[in-house]
Amino acid sequence: MKPIGVLVCALGGEGGGVLAEWLYGAAVRAGLAAQSTSIPGVAQRTGATTYYLEVCPVPDAALGGRRPVFGLSPVAGEIDLLVSSELLETARQVGNGMATAARTTVLSATTRALTVAEKMQQADGRADSAALVAALRRHARHCELLDFDALAKQAGTVVSAPMLGAIAASGVLPIPRAVFEAQIGAGGKGASSAKGIEASLRGFALAFDAVAAHRAVLDAALAPAAPAAAPDLRALARERLRAYQGEAYVRLYDERLARVEAAAGAGGEAAAEVTRWLALWMAFDDIVHVAGLKLAAARQARVRREVGARDDEIVKVFDHFKPGVPEFAALLPPRAAARLLAWDRRRVAAGREPWALPLKVGTHTVGGTLMLRALAALKAWRPHGSRWATEQALIERWLAAVERGAREHPALGVELAKCGRLIKGYGSTNERGKDNLLHLIDHLAFGAGDAGARADAVRAACSAALADEGGRAFDQQLVAHGAPPRPPREQAVRWYKRRPDSRPAT
């Protein structure tokens, strides 16, 4: 007889080790021989920790003295139950061949923890959750999807407890529900206190009941969701800009958008793209904006919620900042900012590091709060700073290009409007995006040839710029469509003295 193979995948801090202990303990408590092993991941989101269990489906008493032989690691195609606390991790294990349509029951969370690779993309690099779910269904005998994180929060526990409830209700393991609950009640590393045990049992029950009633619950959960009502992007943009710089700034946004609509047509695709990207660009990140975000009441509430603090508990929050010359120069008038930036460039040209001021601010302290409030209060001064003047001038150049392109050819206006995607982030990422946008406008959008062909060239170049941070693909697209590549940027070479080798000669 073959043992039942169970593969559990959990991210750091989710109690995967506790879940594996519960499973092993429940099997032993039920009189079944079992073995558990684990393979630790590198970090919380660079690799999940996997736990592999094999459970003999026949009680020890019925084996007549024989002892089952277990494997130490999972084998592709030999898994009966795959359980995962994150959707992409589940799909990764399926891609490794761990699930088969003929054998494997898959219990997966519907939640996502974005990978580093997804976050690094300049465009929207998130994996398509619908495609991941479709892949799970194709490669599983039976697939159950639950929001383990929501169930855990509802019960006041971690996701390992709802995951255990889903496992118990799946019927893959011949272990009664009461045995699983008794194992949780026995305490241990995961729930040593009565309060912890109670919360774990609540999470277990919520998931068990949901899976047990899957005909009513899961069919509705897995059915194609009704399309959500499209958000009012213009209302969201106005709200964002009103908080950023006040009502006058909202009126400027409306005036700019009206100009684009006059050229491209109200309700058209170009106007829709500008509606979003213009608001994001106008609310550019600076130290004033960051200070306001750090002080926001919603942020304080989120931090307390994430650490599970009670109302009577004190939470200390330390924020680390490292503003450099560009951040300080952004708030100075243009002439003063130019002198300060020139000073920093001379430092870099001489082989020194750019000047920066590392700060550790206790947001929970009076001094830290006052410092951030002083920075946030500079909102009124922001329009007098050099960064403001620079950003507004660049925004006007982009909008003028969109208007001109829309009048020449609708597709060209749309593609130039979509180029607003290039402006994102802060520091070198933000500067690189603006440089790419200006080069594209100056050398590719308005040249000789058919306007429709130029629209295709702008689309290809913009996509290349977003896909390749180094810019090589962007330059290749520029040259392929008859535009010059970007000029190389100066970069200081720093020389470091090597310390004499103090080791004794051998």
Alpha-carbon separation of residue 37 from 17, 28, 164, 371 (angstroms): 10, 15, 17, 51
In this prediction the pTM is 0.67
Q: What is the pLDDT of residue 318?
A: 94
Is the CB of residue 106 less than 8 Å from the CB of residue 152?
no
496: in domain: no
Q: Rounded distance, CA 300 to CA 458, Å?
A: 43
User: Which CATH number belongs to the domain containing residue 139 in this structure?
Assistant: 3.40.920.10
Determine whether 30 is exposed, middle or buried from the number of CB atoms within 10 Å of its CB (0-12, 13-18, 19+): buried
Boundary residue ending a domain (166, 197, 222) = 222
Q: Which residues constitute the domain of residue 105? A: 4-222
Determine whether 129 is exposed, middle or buried from the number of CB atoms within 10 Å of its CB (0-12, 13-18, 19+): middle
Query: How high is the mean pLDDT in each 10-residue block of the chain (506 residues)?
Result: 89 82 93 87 60 92 86 89 91 90 91 80 81 89 90 89 92 93 77 77 92 60 51 90 96 96 91 95 94 91 84 91 93 95 90 90 93 94 96 97 96 95 87 93 90 94 87 91 87 69 60
203: in domain: yes
408: in domain: yes
329: in domain: no
Coil, strand or helix: which one is 53? strand
338: in domain: no
274: in domain: no
Q: How many domains does the chain have?
A: 2
Boundary residue ending a domain (166, 191, 222) = 222
28: in domain: yes
369: in domain: no
CA geometry: angle 121, 122, 123, nearest 5 deg = 90
Radius of gyration of the chain from its Cα atoms, rounded to whole angstroms: 29
Boundary residue ending a domain (179, 203, 222) = 222
Q: What is the pLDDT of residue 186?
A: 85
Q: What is the pLDDT of residue 189?
A: 54
Q: Rounded distance, CA 171 to CA 65, Å?
A: 27
